[in-house]
Structure 1
Amino acid sequence: MEELFVSAILIYTLISCGCFLLTFFRARKHPYRFLVIGSWTMCAHIVYKLIWIVAADKGQYELPVPFGLAYSMLLYLFAHAYYQMKTVSRWQMLCFSSPFCLHLVLFVIAWLRPQESGWAIGYSSVYYASCILSLLVYATMTVRLYSRSKRPPTPTDVLIRQLTLLYFGLVVLTYLVLYELHAGGSGMGFEVRPMVFLFLAIGFALVLKYRLTRGVPIVDVKARLIDEDNAGLADATVSELPSGLVQHMADVIDKELIQSKLFLNPAVSLDMLSQRTSIPRHQLTQVFNRYYKKAFYSFIAAARTEYAITRIPEMGDTITLDSLSYECGFNSKTSFNRYFKEYTGMTPSEYRSIANQMLHIQQ
């Protein structure tokens, strides 16, 4: 029975961690998914604890699964995309995930070694110390991000600050767990480790509330684009806005979306724009259809293409078109080429060639 439990919990851990890493690397171009991955990871972590409570032998030591290294990292990446309007490279993603991968390897080794070998206690000590360091570093970096924001706080700002405060609380709890591990007790009259999972449950509840009330976008951008083009005009017929109000909203949108270059953010969406402008999503749809005569994502694609047109003569051959496509906010070079040719009648490489020829003639 004990061997069956050991095999089952190890398989569950490897599958959970594998799914986490797979979705983590796929979330680079869709930064809002970092928040969704975090909520899924919390669920997997809590289930791991429940399995131990229900099925483990009383004398068996509970190895901590390395999910604790993921939470503050995911929050920082989500906040980085929200405040800086930038995605991270695959190399950066690899660096961010390397501590988690290292501790996963150590977890498997400690799990397969006999308990009396000392690997379990050694791994746990290293893991909790790493969690304290990770929580402190990423939470501090997240504080620096939102402290620089000068605009009125949105629900997204509030969520980021709530989770950051929660992670600073986890630093204290993790230190007490580490102390309890070596001292044989915390001296507080109760076990500290269950309090960690209480904090995780609170974090999950905050994220769930945010997703239910704010509708965090988690579907593919292309699917949203098709949905907007097909359904946007139908939405515009609901509760028509006065022309003067449409003009005022268009001015607000122009300031937030164009002047601040929010359109360059690969994760930009109607939900994000609604949060930043305090204009309801359905009214934004009306403004784009009536004032700009375009669906939201068609407007974004045009704005990105215009930006690329201005950047190509400035850059010349100093940067690749692939890098330019990501700078402009496109998720791939293919979509960049398609929208650019639809807008200008030529590919980016053809346009750059003509621009370089004109520059040589002027010189």
Structure 2
Amino acid sequence: MRLAVVLQVPVIPLILFSVSLVAAITFYLAYRSLAKNLFNKVLLWTIFYVFVNSFYAFSVEVFYPAEPWKNKIAPFILMYGPILYFGIVALRDRVLPPWKVFLHAIPFIAFSVLFLALMFGAIKNSEEVHDTVYKQLYRIGPLSFLGYTLYSVFSSRKIFGRFRDKLLMFVFGRVFLLFLATIIMILSFSGQVAHNPNAVYLLRIIVYACMLIFILMIFNYTFNRLLKRSAMTTPYDDNRQEERENVKYERSPLTHVQLLAYQKRLVAIVEDEKLFLDTSLSLSSLANQLKIPNHHLTQVFNMQLKQTFYQFINGCRVNYACQLLEDQKLDMNLEELAEKSGFNAKVSFNRQFKQIKGCTPSEYRDRIRA
């Protein structure tokens, strides 16, 4: 009885319309607020692709309900694996030359040409042709999902220590691709499920609901980045709050030997794993990684390093930015340089750079390349 009620309500069109709406809003926010570095460009194209996919599927559901093949053999699924790959490459500071993008998009392009030929009558439009294309598409799809997911797992082990704010999107993306592969294999090898319209309908609801969750995650990431950039443009330094909380440690139970050991662990983990590139890094998250209490870590900064947490981390970020500026092979604008160095905004980056180095990033670059 409940299933019959669900089938009478246009659940799938509602979900697809929601995905399209959230994707459109997210694209606008991301385009206006995110730095134009490689990862964010990949993110923008991902949002746009999800919008096109969901809006197309919504249009077919609403305007062509008698022609489900237009959704069934649409080749959108073939680009989600490459998109995951492009995101990992972007996080690893690699370049994405056009030939490499084209290479990974070949299956999608081939099936798109075939699909358009069917749509416009260049190829005989029949159920037999639909079934043939469907079988080939849904054999290649799971292989693509599994291959790119495995690549993502084995190639990004050390990346997300620096980019924990992006971790949830990638983890869900992997799970989503594996889930899609499982559903496709069930539909391909289980005749009972494939020929049961209620089961297929429920599986489609689940798939589109996952797509909605995924785009909501991207929206949350984009919105949080926007809030951080706004906060970083205020005229107050980040380290003022911690400076107000500084205390005297003359009666501390920690010995000098213990403080020195903590200091060595701190410097080693921050520099070796480049934790300072994580824009969401905080005193608490760093203390958790070091497995020491927050107040002990604060004591290390004050008594051993003679700096606050933010002064130390910003110093690491500025030194890393100098390394990037000294690399003659790299050519990036200041906004991209700021984000690559762990800063949320160019304004904060310029302010900290000048405070530490005595000149602006542009002046530093001109000086070393003169």
TM category (shorter chain) comes to: 0.5 to 0.7
1:141: Cα distance to partner? 1.0
String of CA shifts for 1:122-161, please: whole Å, max 9, x gaps. 5444433332221011111122235678979967545533
Q: Identify the residue that residue 342 of structure 1 maps to in structure 2.
A: 359
| Aligned partners of 2:163 and 2:279 also within 8 Å | no
Residues 316-356 of structure 1, C-alpha deviations (whole Å, 9 max, x = no match): xxx64649x9999479xxx9xx9999369976586468xxx
Change beyond 3 A, Cα 1:260–1:184: closer
Q: For residues 272 and 99 of structure 1, what CA distance do their matches in structure 2 show?
A: 43
Q: Using a 3 Å threshold, how does the CA distance of structure 1 residues 160 and 252 change in structure 2: closer, same or farther? A: farther
8 Å contact from structure 1 (residues 173, 195) kept in 2: yes
- CA distance in 1 between counterparts of 2:84 and 2:331 reads 28
- 1:31 paired to 2:39: yes
**2:235 is the alignment partner of 1:230:** yes
Correspondence 1:302 to 2:315:
no
Cα-Cα RMSD: 5.7
> Do residues 127 (structure 1) and 137 (structure 2) align?
yes
1:205, CA displacement in angstroms? 1.7
For 1:70, give the aligned amino acid.
Answer: M
In structure 2, relative to structure 1, the CA distance for the partners of 1:96 and 1:28 (3 Å cut) is: farther
Gaps of 5+ in 1: 1-11, 280-286, 313-318, 354-363
1:62 to 36, 53, 70: 70
SS at match of 2:70: coil
| Alignment partner, residue 260 of structure 1 | 273
Contact 1:31 1:78 in 2 (8 A): yes
The amino acid that maps onto 1:205 is I
Inter-partner Cα distance in structure 1 for 2:286 and 2:97: 28
Cα gap change, 1:99 to 1:193, in 2 (>3 Å): farther
**Deviations 1:58-89 (CA, angstroms, capped at 9, x unpaired):** 2563244333123233334434555xx42432
**2-structure distance, mates of 1:152, 1:269:** 8
Change (3 A) 1:74 1:255: farther
Alignment check: 8 A CA contact 1:173 1:196 kept:
no
Residue 89 in structure 1 maps to residue 96 in structure 2: yes
Identity %: 12
Q: Match for 2:140: what amino acid?
A: S
Which residue does the alignment assign to 2:11?
Answer: none
Shift of 1:236: 3.1
Q: For the structure 1 residues 162 and 142, does the alpha-carbon distance in structure 2 shift closer, same or farther, using more than 3 Å as the test?
A: same
| Secondary structure of 2:235 counterpart | helix
Using the alignment, how far apart are the partners of 2:283 and 2:101 within structure 1?
26
Deviations 1:238-273 (CA, angstroms, capped at 9, x unpaired): 97355779x99998875555332356x6xx523699
Shift of residue 176 of structure 1? 4.1
- Show the counterpart of 1:360: none
Aligned letter for 1:165?
V
Residue correspondence of structure 1 range 66-81 to structure 2 within 5 A: 66-81=75-90
SS where residue 37 of structure 2 aligns?
A: coil
Deviation at 1:231, TM superposition (A): 4.5
Alpha-carbon contact 2:89-2:95 (below 8 Å) kept = no
Query: In the aligned structure 2, how far is the partner of 1:100 from the partner of 1:272?
Result: 42
**Partners of 1:32 and 1:218 within 8 A in 2:** no
Q: 1:114 to 1:277 in 2, by over 3 A?
A: farther
1:175 alignment partner, SS class: helix
Per the alignment, residue 139 of structure 1 pairs with: 149
**For residues 165-223 of structure 1, what are the alpha-carbon distances to aligned partners after superposition, in whole Å with 9 as ceiling and x for unaligned?**
3322211222344568xx898255645365245224225325635864x6775559xx9
Deviation at 1:112, TM superposition (A): 0.9
Task: With the length of structure 2 as denominator, give the TM-score of the two structures.
Answer: 0.56
2:184 pairs with 1:167: no
Partner of residue 256, structure 2:
none
Q: Could you say which structure has the greater relative contact order, defined with CA pairs below 8 angstroms and 6 or more residues apart?
A: 2
2:308 aligns with one of 270, 280, 291? 291
Superposition TM-score, scaled by structure 1 size: 0.57
Native 8 Å contact 1:46 1:197 kept in 2: no
Deviations 1:267-290 (A, max 9, x none): x523699867769xxxxxxx9xx7
Q: Gapped runs of 5+ residues in structure 2?
A: 1-19, 253-258, 290-300, 302-306, 347-352
> Do the aligned partners of 1:128 and 1:174 also contact (CA within 8 Å) in 2?
yes
Match of 2:114 in 1: 106
Counterparts of 1:215 and 1:238 in 2: how far apart (Å)? 30
Q: Distance in 2 between matches of 1:237 and 1:151?
A: 24
Instruction: Note closer, same or farther for the CA distance 1:38–1:197 as it changes in structure 2 (3 Å cut).
Output: farther
Select between 149-158 and 300-309 the one with higher mean Cα deviation. 149-158
